[in-house]
Structure 1
Amino acid sequence: MGAAIVELTIAGRVLVFSGDLGRQESPTMLPPTPISHADYLLVESTYGNRLHDGGDAEQTLADVIARTAARGGTVVVPSFAVGRAQTLLFYLARLKEQKRIPDLPIYLDSPMAINATELFCRHIGEHTLSAQDCQRIFSTAHYVREAEESKSLNKDSMPKVILSASGMATGGRVLHHLKHYLPDPRNSVLFTGFQAGGTRGDSLVSGARSIKIHGSYIPVEAEVNVLSMLSAHADADELMVWLGHFKAPPKCTFITHGEPAAADALRHRIEETLGWKTHVPDYRETVALR
Structure 2
Amino acid sequence: MKIKFLGGAGTVTGSKTLVESNGIRILIDCGQFQGIKPLRELNWEPLPVLPNTIDFVLLTHGHLDHCGWLPRLVNQGFEGKIYCTSPTKDITKLILLDSAKIQEEEAERANKEKFSKHEIAEPLYDLIQTEKVFPLFRVVKPNEEVMLDAEITAVFKNAGHIIGACSIELNVENKTLVFSGDIGRDDDVLMYAPVKPKKADYVFLESTYGNRIHPDEDVKLLLETYINNAFQINGTVIIPSFAVERVQSIMYLLWQLKKEDKLPDIPFIIDTPMGISVLEVFTENKNWHKLSESDCIEMCQMFTMNTDYQETINTIFDKGSKVVIAASGMLTGGRVLSYLERYIGLPETTVIIVGYQAEGTRGRKLLEGATDVKIYGKYYPVLAKILEIEGLSAHGDQNDLLNWLSELESKPQKVFLVHGENQPADELRVKVQERYGFACTVPMMGQEIEL
The TM-score normalised by the length of structure 1 is: 0.91
Aligned residue in 2 for 1:120: 282
User: SS at 2:287's partner residue?
Assistant: coil
Counterparts of 1:126-205 in structure 2, within 5 Å, are: 126-205=288-367
Aligned residue in 2 for 1:271: 433
- Tell me, in whole angstroms, the C-alpha distance in 2 between the residues paired with 1:282 and 1:215: 33
Question: Equivalent of 2:380, from 218, 231, 239?
Answer: 218
CA, structure 1 residues 231+103, in 2 after alignment: closer, same or farther (shift >3 Å)?
A: same
CA, structure 1 residues 282+118, in 2 after alignment: closer, same or farther (shift >3 Å)?
A: same
Give the CA deviation at 1:215.
Answer: 4.3
Aligned residue in 1 for 2:170: 8
Q: Does 2:216 align with 1:54?
A: yes
Aligned residue in 2 for 1:42: 204
- Tell me, in whole angstroms, the C-alpha distance in 2 between the residues paired with 1:258 and 1:168: 16
Report percent identity of matched pairs.
38
- Tell me, in whole angstroms, the C-alpha distance in 1 between the residues paired with 2:339 and 2:261: 26
User: SS at 1:196's partner residue?
Assistant: coil
Counterparts of 1:237-248 in structure 2, within 5 Å, are: 237-248=399-410
- Tell me, in whole angstroms, the C-alpha distance in 1 between the residues paired with 2:180 and 2:271: 33
CA, structure 1 residues 72+127, in 2 after alignment: closer, same or farther (shift >3 Å)?
A: same
- Tell me, in whole angstroms, the C-alpha distance in 2 between the residues paired with 1:163 and 1:147: 15
Question: Equivalent of 2:262, from 100, 112, 133?
Answer: 100
Paired letter, 1:84: R
Aligned residue in 1 for 2:184: 22
| RMSD across aligned positions (CA) | 2.0
The TM-score normalised by the length of structure 2 is: 0.60
- Tell me, in whole angstroms, the C-alpha distance in 2 between the residues paired with 1:258 and 1:211: 25
- Tell me, in whole angstroms, the C-alpha distance in 2 between the residues paired with 1:97 and 1:37: 45
User: SS at 1:42's partner residue?
Assistant: strand
Question: Equivalent of 1:234, from 377, 396, 406?
Answer: 396
Higher relative contact order (CA 8 A, sep 6+): 1
- Tell me, in whole angstroms, the C-alpha distance in 2 between the residues paired with 1:194 and 1:271: 25
- Tell me, in whole angstroms, the C-alpha distance in 2 between the residues paired with 1:80 and 1:232: 10
Q: Give the total of aligned pairs.
A: 289
Query: Could you tell me whether the CA contact under 8 Å between 2:355 and 2:394 is conserved in 1?
Result: no
CA, structure 1 residues 35+207, in 2 after alignment: closer, same or farther (shift >3 Å)?
A: closer
- Greater than 4 Å deviation, 4+ residue runs: none
User: SS at 1:5's partner residue?
Assistant: strand
User: SS at 1:16's partner residue?
Assistant: strand
Question: Equivalent of 1:31, from 177, 189, 193?
Answer: 193
Of 56-65 and 173-182, more deviation after overlay is shown by 173-182
C-alpha deviations, 1:256-277, integer Å up to 9, x for none?
2222332232222222221223
Paired letter, 1:234: G
- Tell me, in whole angstroms, the C-alpha distance in 1 between the residues paired with 2:443 and 2:372: 42
Give the CA deviation at 1:171.
Answer: 2.0
CA, structure 1 residues 120+148, in 2 after alignment: closer, same or farther (shift >3 Å)?
A: same
Stretches of structure 2 lacking an aligned partner (at least 5 in a row): 1-161
Give the CA deviation at 1:153.
Answer: 0.7
User: SS at 2:238's partner residue?
Assistant: strand
C-alpha deviations, 1:220-251, integer Å up to 9, x for none?
33332222222211111111111101122223
Stretches of structure 1 lacking an aligned partner (at least 5 in a row): none
C-alpha deviations, 1:132-155, integer Å up to 9, x for none?
222222332111100111111123
User: SS at 2:288's partner residue?
Assistant: coil
